[in-house]
Every structure is written in C-alpha cells, then in structure tokens.
C-alpha cells in the first residue's frame, strides 16, 4: 500500500503538493504573524542650524525650568530668582548642559543592553524539500523535512550575563553623577575667577586714581620748579602700567562670563541678564567653619563620597562576572533538535543533540585572560585609592596654608589701615603733604590687593578640596543623582 494518511491531521501525504504547503506554512507562518509588529526605520537627521536655534532659546526664566526648580526644593515665592548662587547655577547646568544629555543617552543604552541580557535564545526552525528522479514507482518523488533547534544554556550563563549588564548599567548611571559633579566644580571655579576679576578691577581702579593724583601733584610741582621731569615721567609710566593692566582685567570680564556660561550650558546673552551672587568674606568665614568640622576625617570622607571609587568597584564587579562567565563556558551549551522527515514515502522521526566540545581544553586560555583582567582592575582600584588619599591630604594642607596666608595678609592690612589713619591725622595737622599721603594710600591698596589674592587662593583651594571630597562645602548642596 503506497498511500499513507495522517488521520490526526486529515492531510493526504500521498499528495506532495499538500505536504509542501504544510511545510511552508509551518515555517513561514510565525514570520507572517509577527510581521505586523515590526518597527519601521525612521530617519532622524542632525540639523546644525536647528540645534543652534535650540541653544539660543535656552532660558533660565522659562516655565519648564521653574517647574524643575520647584521639584528640587525651591518655593514658588522665590521664583524668579533674585540672585543666582552656586546651587542655582548648578541646577541650571543640570537642566541645560548638553554633556548630561550624552551621559543620560549612554545610560539608556546600557539599560537596553541590560534588557537584552535577560532574553533567552530563541528556537530555530529548519525546513527542507527535495525531489528525486528515481524511476522506481514504489517510492515517492518528494522528500520533506522539518526540525526545531532548541538551545539550552548550562552553568547559569544567562544569569551571569544579566549580572554583568547590571553592573555596566550602574557604571553608566554613576557616570551621569560624575558628569554632574564635574559641572558643579567647573561652575564654582569659574565663579571664583569671575569674582576675583571684579575685585581686581575695583582695587586697580583705586590704584589708577591714586597714580593719577600723584601725576597731577608732580605736574603741579614741576610747574612750580619743585619737581623734576624724571619724577613726572616715572609717575606717568606707573600710571600707564596700571591703566594697561586695568583694561586687560576689564576685557577679561566678558571672557570669564563666557566661560561660566559654557559651564552652565547657556548662551552668554542669557547669563549676562542673571544677577550673580558673589561670596563675601563673611560667607567664606562660615564655609571655613564648616570645613574645619568636616576635614578631621578627610580621607574617609573622600573615599566614601568619590564617584570614581564607586565606578571602580563596579568595573571590578564587571571583571568578576566576566571571569565567572568564562568559567561557566567550560560546560558546553546544548541544542536539542526534534524533527520529522517524509523521505520518498517513509516517515522519519528524529531527535538530535549537539554541543561544542569545550571539555577538551576547558576554556583555559579565556579563563586565564579574565583572571588577569580582574587583577588589572584590583591594581587600578588600589592605585586610585592611594591617589585619592594623597589628593585629599594635599588639598587639606593647601587649604590650611591658604587660611594661614589670608590671616597673615588680613593682619598686615589691619596694621596698614591703622598706619593710614595715623598718616591722615598727620596730613590734617600739616606735618606731611598730599604726595606722601598718596603713597601711603597706595601702600594700603597694595595690601588690599594681597588680601584679595589670598582670598582668591583660599577660595580656589576650598573648591579643590570640595572636588577632592566630591561633596558640596560652599553651598546647600546638589544631589549627585541622574
């Protein structure tokens, strides 16, 4: 009997065309059913002109940014902000700066990789068809086959890959916080430089006025025959030098503002309209009081707060999971392949089993490589930890040195101010002239300049210590969260 009928399905297998239809339907139907959920490619070209317009439209007075500030602890009564301090400028950078968009996009990509790691390997459907020209009428002219390859992972490899992807995602998340912190540090330093520039302009303007007064005195004395041209020329050269330096400082103001705007992520035109809050020496004294309470355990504070330490620990965890995965690869994955074939009139059922022969070398080379990579991460972590401890100690000592320098300069300024008051009394008593008193005032301005320089150095070292600890010390503080 050359007719085989599958009663269960109701199909007559003696008709090859019907069996071909069954085979094609079985292999193609999953694709057809899932085709409706396929995503289509959508182009997203980059337009530099549009990006420029978007940048110019960034506005710290916009309703969206105000809503962002309300969500971060600001009250409706405080908006719009009357003064922009370091915290407000930092929130502005967190909202507008494009480098955070890059970090967030990398985090989202890492999260997608984490989702992909959870997916299991899909079965593979295999089909084939053949035709024979054998004239034997007892055989069917067609052969059909259908099989399914079902992969089976062994040794918990999937969970190890998931663990690895989670650590990589955590690294990307921490790098958002690292970027945010770097923005805050850059803003603090730029604000300090801008403040120092304004102070230098103020003091050099006073110095320029005093040198102008001295030139006028020499000119008057020269006309009376009581001074020489050499003295007048020397006074004019000093005035010219001061005026030149003052002009340079005034030109630097806009450069420093542009640098600050770049660190915030705003157009310069918008920053120029924002009233910046400048620290006073009283505020600095309060900051130093806070720091003096927190730097007793500066090393521990740095090691607990540094984001690069946390990133290094996650990188070590990634190296650990890579080693675990290579060890797991000693055990081969299996593929079970059940199948059915209709071979020229015969029904053949089969069950295949396959896997890589990793038992021969037991993945020794890859395991050794992963082991060495783990040792590299250990060495890098130890090096980073030693570097942080050294930086924390240096920053703490630099701050102590700057505090001592400022205290010394303030003491000299107090002495100089007392001397200026004494000379003023002598001037009023007629015991000294205006020229001598002008030079006394110049000495007073020089001492004020030394105090301003010491103040700038102290603020700079305070910013450096803050960056070393990666913990806000000169403001209410901004959370290191993406």
Which residue in 66, 71, 464 sits closest to 302, CA to CA?
464
Residue 53 lies in a domain: no
**Considering Cα of 387, then 393, then 397, then 399, what sign does the dihedral take?**
positive
Which residue is it, tokens 């999260």? 111
Euclidean distance between the first and the last CA atom of the chain, given in angstroms as a whole number: 75
Number of structural domains in the chain? 1
- 105-137 pLDDT tens trace: 999 999 999 999 999 889 999 999 988 887 776
Instruction: Kindly state whether residue 144 falls inside one of the protein's structural domains.
Output: yes
Q: Is residue 46 part of a domain?
A: no
| In-domain check, residue 28 | yes
Residue 80: its H or E element? none
**pLDDT(29) > 60:** no
Q: Is residue 482 part of a domain?
A: no
Which residues make Cβ contacts (< 8 Å) with residue 68, sequence separation at least 6? 91, 95
Distances in whole angstroms, Cα of residue 117 to Cα of each of 114, 159, 168, 169: 5, 8, 11, 12
The residue-averaged pLDDT of 320-327 equals 95
pLDDT band at 357 (very low <50, low <70, confident <90, very high): confident
Asked if residue 49 belongs to a domain, the reply is no
pLDDT at residue 305 tops 90: no
Peptide bond into 311 cis (omega under 30): no
Give the DSSP letter string of 243-288: HHHHHHHHHHHHHHHHHHHHHHT--HHHHTTS-BPPPPHHHHHHHH
Does residue 475 register a pLDDT over 60? Answer: no
* Range scoring the smallest mean pLDDT among 36-50, 395-409, 418-432: 36-50
CATH of the domain at 197: 1.20.1600.10
Place of tokens 């407000």: 88
| pTM score | 0.83
63 CB-near residues (< 8 Å, 6+ apart): none
Domain annotation covers residue 269: yes
Q: Do the beta carbons of residue 455 and residue 413 sit within 8 Å?
A: no
pLDDT tens by residue, 255-268: 999 999 999 999 99
Token readout for 146 is 């259908």
Domain residues for the domain of 165 are 10-32+59-420+427-469
Report yes or no on 477 lying in a domain: no
Residue 265: which region, alpha, beta or left (left: phi > 0; alpha: psi -120 to 50)? left
Distance of CA 162 to the CA centre of its chain: 25
User: Whole-angstrom Cα distance, residue 161 to residue 167?
Assistant: 10
- Whether residue 270 is preceded by a cis peptide bond, meaning omega within 30 degrees of 0, is no
pLDDT band at residue 28 under the 50/70/90 scheme: low
Contact 107, 172 (CB under 8 A): yes
The rounded mean pLDDT for the chain is: 86
Tell me the sheet residues that pair with 145.
128, 341
């Amino acid at each position: 009997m050359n007719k085989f009928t599958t009663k269960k399905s109701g199909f007559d297998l003696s008709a090859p065309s019907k069996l071909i239809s069954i085979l094609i339907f079985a292999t193609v139907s999953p694709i057809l059913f899932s085709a409706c959920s396929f995503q289509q490619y959508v182009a997203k070209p980059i337009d530099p002109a549009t990006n420029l317009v978007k940048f110019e439209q960034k506005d710290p007075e916009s309703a969206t940014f105000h809503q962002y500030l309300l969500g971060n602890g600001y009250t409706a009564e405080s908006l719009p902000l009357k003064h922009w301090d370091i915290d407000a400028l930092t929130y502005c950078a967190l909202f507008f700066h494009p480098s955070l968009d890059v970090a967030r996009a990398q985090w989202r990509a890492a999260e997608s990789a984490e989702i992909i790691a959870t997916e299991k390997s899909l079965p593979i459907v295999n089909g084939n068809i053949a035709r024979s020209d054998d004239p034997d009428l007892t055989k069917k002219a067609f052969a059909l086959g259908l099989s399914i390859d079902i992969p089976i992972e062994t040794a918990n490899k999937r969970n190890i890959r998931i663990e690895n992807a989670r650590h990589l995602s955590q690294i990307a998340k921490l790098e958002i916080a690292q970027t945010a912190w770097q923005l805050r540090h850059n803003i603090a330093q730029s604000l300090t430089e801008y403040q120092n520039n304004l102070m230098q302009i103020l003091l050099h303007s006073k110095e320029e006025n005093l040198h102008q007064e001295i030139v006028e005195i020499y000119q008057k004395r020269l006309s009376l025959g009581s001074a020489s041209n050499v003295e007048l020329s020397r006074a004019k050269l000093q005035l010219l030098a001061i005026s030149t330096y003052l002009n340079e400082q005034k030109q630097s103001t806009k450069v420093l503002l542009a640098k600050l705007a770049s660190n915030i992520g705003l157009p310069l035109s918008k920053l120029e309209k924002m009233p910046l809050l400048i620290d006073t020496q009283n505020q600095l004294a309060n900051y130093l009081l806070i720091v003096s309470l927190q730097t007793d355990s500066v090393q521990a504070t740095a090691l607990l707060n540094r984001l690069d330490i946390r990133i290094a620990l996650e990188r070590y965890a990634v190296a650990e999971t890579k080693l675990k995965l290579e060890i797991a690869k000693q055990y081969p994955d299996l593929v079970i392949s059940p199948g059915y074939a209709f071979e020229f009139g015969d029904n053949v059922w089969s069950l295949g089993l396959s896997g890589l022969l990793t038992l021969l070398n037991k993945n020794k080379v890859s395991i050794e490589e992963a082991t060495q990579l783990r040792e590299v991460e250990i060495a890098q972590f130890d090096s980073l930890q030693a570097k942080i401890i050294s930086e924390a100690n240096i920053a703490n000592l630099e701050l102590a040195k700057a505090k001592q320098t400022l205290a010394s300069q303030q003491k000299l300024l107090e002495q100089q101010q007392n001397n200026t008051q004494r000379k003023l009394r002598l001037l009023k008593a007629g015991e000294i002239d205006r020229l001598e008193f002008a030079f006394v005032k110049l000495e007073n301005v020089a001492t004020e300049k030394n105090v301003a320089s010491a103040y700038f150095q102290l603020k700079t070292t305070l910013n450096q210590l803050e960056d070393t600890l990666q913990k806000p010390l000169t403001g209410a503080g901004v959370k290191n969260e993406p």
